[in-house]
Chain A
Amino acid sequence: MHIVIDLQGAQCESRYRGIGRYALSLAVAIAKNRGDHRVTIALNSIFPASIDAIKAEFDGILPPSDIRVWRGIAHVHSRDPNNRWRREAAEQVFETFLTDLAPDVVLVLSLFEGFADDVVTTVPQTSAFSTAVLLHDLIPLIYKESYLTDPLRSEWYYRKLAQLRRADFLLSNSASSAQEAVDHLGYREARIVNVSGAVDTRFHPREISPAERQRIGQAYGITRSFVFSAPGGFDQHKNVGGLIEAWSKLPNAVRSAHQLVLGSRIMPTTERRFSKRCRKLGLRAGEIVFTGYLPDNDLVALYAMAKLCVFPSQHEGFGLPALEAMACGTPTIGGNRSAVPEVLGHPDALFDPMSSASIAAKIGDLLQDSSRLDTLRQHALKQAARFSWDHSATTAIAAMERLGGPRPTTLPVVRPQRLAVVLPDASLRSGAGHRLRAFLPALSRRYLIDLVDASGEIDPNTLQDDISRCDLRTFRARADDYDQILYCLGGGLGSATVADLARKIPGAVLLTDLDPSDRLERTPALEERVELIRYCRGYVDFASTGSDPATVQPGGPLVQDALAEAVAVFAGSEALKAAAAEAGLAGAEGWPVIAFRHQPALGPSMPRETAREQLGLSDDERAIAVCCDPLSSQAAIDGLIRLEDDAQAEGLAPHYLVLASGSSADRSRLARTIANAGGLAADRVTVLSPAHAQSFAAVCAAADCAVASGGAVEAGESGLVLDLADAGLAVVLLSDHAPAGSISAALAGTAQPSSRLEPSPTLDAPSDDRSLPPALADALDRAYGTRQHHRLRRDAVAKIAALGPPPVHDPKHLEAVKDDWFKAAQSVALSLPPRNAPRQLLVDVSELLQRDARTGVQRVTRSVLREWLEHPPAGFQVQPVYATPDQNYRYATRFTLNFLGYGIVDVPDSEVDFSPGDIFCFLDLQHHVALSHRDYFQLLRSHGVRVHYVVHDLLPILLEGIFPQSMKALHEDWLAAVAESDGAFCVSRAVANELADWIRDAGLVDRHPFHIGWFHHGADFSGLQAWTGLPADANAVLGALAERPTFLMVGTIEPRKGHAQTLDAFEALWARGIDVNLAIVGKKGWLVDDLVKRMERHPERGKRLFWLSGVSDEYLERIYDTSVCLLAASRGEGFGLPLIESAHYKLPILARDLPVFREVAGDHASFFTASDGKELAVAVENWLQLYRKGEHPRSDAMPYLTWSETAARLARAVINDEYLIELKI
């Protein structure tokens, strides 16, 4: 049995109340005790904050795939009547979502939701599954004069009651609630099962230390022994007023020795009201204590410390606080009404809650009789032990087994199923259609079949009697009338039309070829062409830079869009299935293979003389039937010319009977092209349609042999070729490897008929297995029987449309009404996502797209992005995306084509679409976009998209005073957003550890696992758009640098980079007569105005001090070559790219002793610690001495990665979620 639990009650405001906690505890217990049953938890992504916490509750109990998230619609709460359209639309989507899960039972754990928030609970009027509702109580109905005075609330409540009555059976939290359903709703007793409830394990007897007693006493003003009551609210039926009145009636001695502590969250106005009442009753100050909200630990402590617990409620569905108190071993008394007696389970623990005298008498008697208190204390633990969530869960499961299961369907309508078979062209003898031919008899026994062909030229004479024809226009208009649709999608003519239809009207797809050429030929517009390739294949085909994106040819299949929503995909052969899997088509490994079975043609036969007469051939004229590639006129002509050359070499002049599929217009075009081509006698060429039965019969009878080019066979004409062989013709496959003389042998009749025919690479050998014909019908039935995904979505759309346009309550809100359509559609799209969509690696390039600041971060972004675009990770398409703070995420198509060298291409950037299994990677650093789209990222995560960030450093936070304060705050906000994601990949282990420490210190560790991984930068220039060019004074500068040992610093001039300290050090060195250069390469950053002035006015500038700003990659390379040492004096780095660039140029390194520099350079650099310029000067001098002796550490052997390796490693880590640290509560 498949049980789906609607757990929205644990997501909304109720999650802070008993109902939410009850729902979650029971759901977890059902999942734990499910046995062989399958349990799925249904959550609503309108409440994203709760999803991670709930998933954590089921961690290790249910597989993550069994926690399914649907998308509701915002603004559906019932307290605003204007929300009605949205609420009804959301209900339709929710019901469809539940149906899609194919449950046997749906268990609604909190039905009475959605008045003040956007919960959508429902009990479908008709469904294939049964619905159980957990009834907590009917208090608003029983006390309607108190609770249902507001018309809106009343309307909402009665609507929910109507839904409750529709439920197939009820689970109740107590026998009392079950009886209420019978008494007040007339519900059948046999359909209600009491599953009771339990308390959390943290409620248990415990010793309270004196220190804790003191703390609690001080915190809540408790000064003496006390009676405790946690009423769970101050509603009228909670009877707190009655308890206070009863307290006032207690003897003075009792009141003087005790306090009454009321432990529940209370509004100030309510507290004032009760205080006033206390004064009126003559109670002294401090006699009654209102604690307000109690943390769980304090609540348990108060239960344990209390002398007696009182639960005065006049009506309860269950009475959870009473059970909590007893579980802590405290004597507990309560009212003798509703569910409380069954929870308390002892006659001496009961009083009449309607009588304050009765309450007072019971409290007074017990406080003065310790033996009765002891009896109740002992009873409390025994009674509490009778309640457990496991018991509740097993009772609930047993009830569902007994009363649940699929609903009996209404009387089945006995009518044949209607099947539309959509073919690319008229011929059932070629391509995908040919594959189908063998299966048609078996299909026609099971379905009423309409054959739809893209070309509209099916010859009715070729069809079985029980198969009818349908034109495209009719099919499009009446597609909903078909029970099943089967698309035959090959690579030949018409496949573009079939693919477009399969995309728009999903059905099952029999895929027989992956050749994409027809789709591109039929998509001439640049915009559509680029979009098609981008959607199906990402940018891998654009990566081999060309000048015109219109000429880009895809290197693999272009069918992903047609398959994204397919009900099922069947592979035409094992070879095709393997090729599809290799090309990364989603789910290809699981496609059933519908093996090819050749069905001999059953067309008319004809005497040879008649046929020749009809074709205008003389008796002695040789005739060759030619199967040509239907997609390429040029290939057909080339084949004919080659044939003609061979024939002339043998002294023959045969007549060519060219069989060309496609439309008559295509054949006319081919005939004209042949007539205009040189080297062919056009009067010896006749072009015919193989789909025309009479023409084909005439060709079979009249021809002396048949020739098919390899291209023709591969293009899907194999069926035609087999038919020619069946007709007794010798068929020669004309390939580059065909032996000379084969045609003349065929013409002379010396070749064995069909002996040379071999299957093409994408075609399995024909099978004679008699069991094959029903295979397709069975596979179709299976697919349509279990996967009604697309149909459900269509139904949801139709039901929402049936609500009519969203009403306009206020003309000012016209735009919002327009949004309502989109919100409803978004709800449908996210709740029922496509199942075969290509998996995307969405890469954020928001910053790079706006401006390439040529910082280290952007160097990483550019290099990794280029590698990913050129070599996408297996099974993923790399899709650069961008957003602005105000605009949604879009595919960065225009930017990416420009990035790949196509210049500015006028194509639109469409909004991002996503499906479960996609990955979003924030490669670039753009604080504002990340912060303004936090909700969007949570939406992605809720719907199965993993979100990862790349963290380059935490320097604005860690280095005080070096960055502007605003940057620190911004970076902290950004890191807080990062911590909400699935994980981060840092540019070094050092940064990974820093990030983990920061998240822990900031208290941002959450219940969802946050993974921190790391990778290292690459170090070559090959992946970059090389920036070349030298300034006019380059040679002079390089010459000066070569005159004496040059220490090089590379990086933006910022306080943290240590330029000022280094300049101090070199001034000291120069003063001591040490003749060295200091070359600083980098542009001016922030907070360095004084330093810049100092460098600009420095007496050594241009002599021994060089500051080079804005140097090209080429110039920098020359500077590296001229220097003797890289001086890395930075006080903090994420990675320190110049270190490995130095290693790349074999330049020795003198670096500050930072963990990240140690991590990158290891033993291949010298390290220094220096608090001022003098100490650094000593370090430089020491290094120079070693250098002069040749004893300095060399960087030559320092290991580093290329950008290609870096990109591959990062992709692997992101996709496989490889991490170093896991943070989780």
Chain B
Amino acid sequence: MNCEQVVPYVPGLAGDELGAETVRWVQAHVAECDSCRAESVRYRSLASGLATLNTHEIEPPAFLAEAIAERVRGERHRRFLPVPPIVSPELARAVADNRDAIVSAGATLVAASAAFALWRAARNRRSTRIAST
């Protein structure tokens, strides 16, 4: 094995993604190659830095918690009927995620039905007029 073959796998030594056999031959090369060993050590320290990054707080905007609570309160009042338990959470989420599309499709359907009803009524009136003359 040479560096060119091993280099793509070196970042994998810092995680748990490589298979045991791959780890074995990558480590065998790393043990003998100074530059790949240095790189492997660097990836490990990078991985340990990343693993503790979630304790590094990112301050949310001051208004956020209240804005979220307000939004949830609004949703609670809007949804006066609870979701029946037979609806799976996945379906409920899909409906919630696509609410705008569903409302648009419904509105289009209602408009199309109304147009069809008007057209039909007009046609019936014309037929009646022709029959009476």
Q: Do A and B come from one complex?
A: no
Q: Please give the residue numbers on chain B whose beta carbons come within 8 Å of chain A beta carbons, in ascending order.
A: none
